Amino acid sequence: MADTAVLASKTPMAGGKPRPGDTALALRLDAIDLPQGGFTRAAREDAAARLAAMGLPGARDEYWRYTDPAPFNAAKPEPLAYTSRESSLFGEIDRLKLVFVDGRFDASASDALEGEGLEIQTLAAADAAGEHWAADLYGKLETAGQTPVKRPFAVLNTLAAADGVLIRVTGKVSRPVHVMYRRAAQDADVTVHHVVRLEEGAELTLLETGGIGARSNVVIEVDVGKSARFHHIASKRADDAKLGIGHVFARVGEGALFKSFTLSVNGSMMRNEGVIEILGDDAVAHIAAAVLGDGSEGRFHHDDTVFITHAAERCESRQVFKKVLKNGADGIFQGKILVKPGAQKTDGYQISQGLLLDEGSQFLAKPELEIYADDVKCSHGSTTGALDETAMFYLRSRGVPKEQAIVLLVLSFLADALEEIEDDRLRDDILDRLDEWLTSRAAN
Amino acid sequence: MLEIKNLHVKLEDEDKQILKGVDLTVPAGEVHAIMGPNGSGKSTLSYVLSGRDGYAVTEGEASLDEHDLLDMEPEERAAAGLFLAFQYPVEIPGVGNLTFLRTAVNAQRKARGEEELSSGEFLKIVREKAKTLQIDSDMLKRPVNVGFSGGEKKRNEILQMAMLEPRMCILDETDSGLDVDAMRLVAEGVNALRSPERSFLVITHYQRLLDHIKPDVVHIMSNGRIVKSGGPELALEVEKNGYGDLLAEVG
């Protein structure tokens, strides 16, 4: 898996001359009001040095083969006109609401930062302090996730993040924490960085919804302690984060559970990376996504890149990625399972599927397995196809109109990914939203 | 009710004629059976009538209650009262059987300008009908046909038929893959739906099913045409002597 393009880009200032990318990086950094940082200062300084060494990615980097990093490299995003619209998703569920407007915490719109078994602060508020529990994690999981491939935008995030939420969970918290993003400025270039630590036996569900900015860069670092359970459900909807890159870095301890599900509906260019390291025996890590892309509203390009490392025995990992694409939309999946020496009895599974509703759309998949233990069960599958004609006919022969039959079959296609949401209420909310969205534009 | 005149059908993508002039009339309230050897065009006839893609009608016509069937989309034919019970019912993972049924019932009601059933009304009716077909609530909740046995799939087809209350029911080899008990259950379900306003076209290879669903008329199909029609005794003749003698007789 040695990758010459990436290795080459690691050599800074080859021949003493700055590479074109260095100028781009300088311009990129110039456009950001870099925070000084309190407890994060060391992590930010380290990030600055690492970023200077690795530079921004180029189109020739293998890891960016299917997605052009240029829009993320640009100094500023294109300003975006949009209609401000409150997401009602999960509105009926009792949850702790944290509102971020253009990436800044809005205390007046949020619930009080308290709850049984929870210790919550915002990054901006906490960062004035010299010491904080999050200092052990901020930028640390991100740094660990830089091997073997570089993820420069995550480094940039550690360097530049002005706000985010820091959550320490000490008990079984039944009330989900809901990060609600809102947009105000048309040219908001948003960088947020969340840190979550679940202590032994703790439980938390983290929800993320709403439009983050004209361009967004989100990092979530999650440390799931022994026997802890963490659920993450994100919904990125139409006209939300037109241009977005996100990284979830997770470390999963003994007997712990990590589950992440992302719904993406439109957006012009999105890249979501999941980097999960299973360090304790008997742990479980699942990551799933349902993606609906319609290229008719401008460009649609959606890239899911996943890297799961098994470094312990008897662990289970599961990747389920489903993309429905039409009107010239592009769906990308790069997924890898690395089983380290000694990670015996690993059960690793990966499925990526593209459903193409027309000839102009494409789904590109790059599944990889790298296994250094001899007693493991790992499988992967990838398919790309159109709607099943027989199933279409079956539904229509029962009187279901064509447009409605397509909606049912799309939901059927996405079912495996949605099943990854354990909580029935949350899953039903997502399903209702999907159904509504699909039905409202079935004719296009 | 169902009128088929001189129907010629070929495969859309190949130059292969399958139906070569089918004439058939099924009056209201009657049960007609179509028997015939493999490849005679029985299933094609059922697909063409219900509007499946992949076939081209080159000549002839087909109508239901004087509506031109061949001019309608499959869902319009269903709303007009046509129902096809599939030989191989399709599995639809992730879509609950009840959701599917309710979507279908209400889509047809809407197409006919009738009021949609509320969730409560629908559940009451579906539970009642499911009970007589020995379909339990677990089967209703499961995804459509996923993990169903052969018998369960066919009973599920009959449940759909009972819920949709079509005027014209086509059963395409509904007896295939069924054991004796399952066949009796399916036949009872069909018989319960018999009425002076409803007709049936039962496609089968074997006389067995016709012991349970008594036909008024039996047609023999061969090489894309109906070559002989008669009473229930025709089915017994086939069972006894096979198609060979019969077909030799009609030349």
Q: Which helix (H) or strand (E) holds A431?
A: helix A424-440
Give residue A16's pLDDT band: very low, low, confident or very high (50, 70, 90).
Answer: very low
Of B130, B181, B136, B131, nearest in space to B157 by CA: B130
Q: Around Cβ B68, how many Cβ atoms within 10 Å?
A: 11
pLDDT digit string, tens, across residues A65-88: 999 999 999 999 988 777 656 678
Residue A154, pLDDT > 60, answer yes
* Residue A403 located in a structural domain: no
Asked if pLDDT for residue A285 goes beyond 60, the answer is yes
Place of tokens 């009738």: B114
Task: Decide: B55 and A380 in contact? Cβ < 8 Å.
Answer: no
Q: Terminus-to-terminus CA distance in chain B, angstroms? A: 30
Q: Is B89 on the interface with A (CB under 8 A)?
A: yes
Q: How far is CA A151 from CA A75, A113, A144, A162, A272, in A?
A: 18, 32, 11, 19, 11
Per DSSP, the three-state class of A93 is coil
Rounded to an integer, the average pLDDT of A97-118 is 96
What's chain A's average pLDDT? 91
* Secondary structure (H, E, C), chain B: CEEEEEEEEEECCCCCEEEEEEEEEECCCCEEEEECCCCCCHHHHHHHHHCCCCEEEEEEEEEECCEEHHHCCHHHHHHCCEEEECCCCCCEEEEEHHHHHHHHHHHHHHHCCCCCCCHHHHHHHHHHHHHHCCCCHHHHHCEECCCCCHHHHHHHHHHHHHHHCCCEEEEECCCCCCCHHHHHHHHHHHHHHCECCEEEEEECCCCHHHHHCCCCEEEEEECCEEEEEECCHHHHHHHHHHHHHHHHHHC
For CA atoms A90, A91, A96, A100, the dihedral sign is positive
Is residue A8 scored above 50 in pLDDT? no
Query: Would residue B77 count as lying in a domain?
Result: yes
The mean per-residue pLDDT over the stretch A4-8 comes to: 35
Domain hosting A172: range is 4-386
Mutate to test the interface with B, among A322, A389, A398, A439 (most CBs of B within 10 A): A398
For testing contact with chain A, the best of B76, B95, B101 (most A CBs within 10 A): B95
The alpha carbon of residue B16 is apart from the nearest alpha carbon of chain A, in Å, by 21
Partner residues linked to A246 by β-bridges: A218, A272
**Is the Cβ pair B94, A415 closer than 8 Å?**
yes
At residue A67, φ and ψ (nearest 5 deg) are -135, 125
Residue of B nearest to A416 (CA): B94
**Of all helices (H) and strands (E), which one includes residue A223?**
strand A215-224
Does residue B222 belong to any structural domain of this protein? Answer: yes
In a domain, B50, yes or no: yes
Q: Is A398 in contact with B160 (Cβ distance < 8 A)? A: yes
B108 touches chain A (CB under 8 A): yes
Residue A4: its pLDDT value, please? 35
The pLDDT value recorded for residue A83 is 63
Range of the domain at B16: 2-90+166-250
pLDDT at B29: 95
Task: Count CA atoms within 13 Å of residue A102 on its CB side.
Answer: 8
What would you report as the CA-atom Rg of chain A, rounded to the nearest whole angstrom?
21
Phi-psi region of B19 (alpha: psi -120 to 50; beta: other; left: phi over 0): beta
Residue A119 lies in a domain: yes
Confidence bin at A241 (pLDDT 50/70/90): low
**How many contacts does A have with B, using Cβ atoms within 8 A?**
80
Q: Does B147 touch chain A (CB under 8 A)?
A: no
Assess contact for A382 and A13: CB atoms under 8 A. no
With CA atoms as reference, the chain A residue closest to B165 would be: A398
Residue whose entry in the numeric block shows the structure tokens 């890149």? A305
Residue A83 lies in a domain: yes
CATH number reported for the structural domain that contains residue B207 in this entry: 3.40.50.300
> What digits encode the pLDDT tens for the residues A19-33?
555 788 999 999 999
Whether residue A424 is contained in a domain is answered as no
Contact A390 B100 (CB under 8 A): no
Distance of CA A339 to the CA centre of its chain: 22
Predicted local confidence at residue B113, as pLDDT: 92
- CA B96 to chain A, closest CA, distance in angstroms equals 9
* pLDDT of res. B207: 85
Establish if B81 touches chain A: CB-CB under 8 angstroms.
no
Contacts of B83 in chain A (CB under 8 A): 397
Distance CA(B171)–CA(B151), nearest Å, equals: 14
How many C-beta atoms surround the C-beta of residue A359 within 10 A? 8
Minimal C-alpha gap between A412 and chain B (Å)? 4
Number of residues that this document lists for chain A: 444
Q: What is the distance between the alpha carbons of residues A14 and B70, in angstroms, rounded to a whole number?
A: 72
Q: From CA A430, how far away is CA A433, in angstroms rounded? A: 5
> The tokens 């495996």 sit on which residue?
A416
What tokens were used for B219?
A: 């047609």
Alpha-carbon distance B103 to A415, whole Å? Answer: 18
Q: Hey, CA dihedral for A60, A63, A69, A72, is it positive or negative?
A: negative
Nearest Cα residue in chain B from A415: B94
Residue B52 domain-assigned? yes
Token couple for B37:
């050897």
The answer for B 111-140 residues in CB contact with A (under 8 A) is: 111
What pLDDT shows up at residue B172? 94
Residue A429, pLDDT score: 93
Strands (E), A266-346: 269-278, 284-294, 301-310, 316-326, 330-339
Residue B127 resides in a domain: no
At A248-258, the pLDDT tens digits run 999 999 999 99
Q: Tell me the average pLDDT across A314-332.
A: 96
CB-based contact, B72 to chain A, within 8 Å: no
- For residue A6, what pLDDT is reported? 35
Amino acid A372: pLDDT: 97
Encoding tokens for residue B44? 């094609």
Q: What ipTM describes this predicted complex? A: 0.95
What's the structural domain count of chain A? 1
B2 near B46, Cβ under 8 Å? Answer: no
Which of B12, B43, B87, B90 should be substituted to probe chain A, the one whose Cβ sees the most A Cβ atoms within 10 Å?
Answer: B90
Give the model's pLDDT for residue B176: 85
DSSP A105: E
pLDDT tens digits for A108-152? 999 999 999 999 999 999 998 889 999 999 999 999 999 889 999
Neighboring chain A residues of B160 at a CB cutoff of 8 Å: 398
Mean pLDDT per segment of 10 residues, for chain B of length 251 residues?
96 93 96 92 95 95 95 96 95 93 94 92 93 88 93 93 96 89 89 94 90 94 94 89 80 61
Whether residue A263 contacts residue A289, with contact meaning beta carbons closer than 8 Å, is answered with yes
- State whether A415 and B103 contact (CB < 8 Å): no
Q: Phi first, then psi: give them for residue A50, nearest 5 degrees.
A: -65, -40
pLDDT for position A12:
40
C-alpha distance from B239 to closest chain A C-alpha (Å): 32
- Tens of pLDDT, residue by residue over A161-210, are 999 999 999 999 999 999 999 988 889 999 999 999 999 999 999 999 98
- Assigned domain for B158 exists: no
> How many folded domains does chain B comprise?
1
What pTM was computed for the model? 0.90
DSSP H or E segment with residue A353: strand A347-356
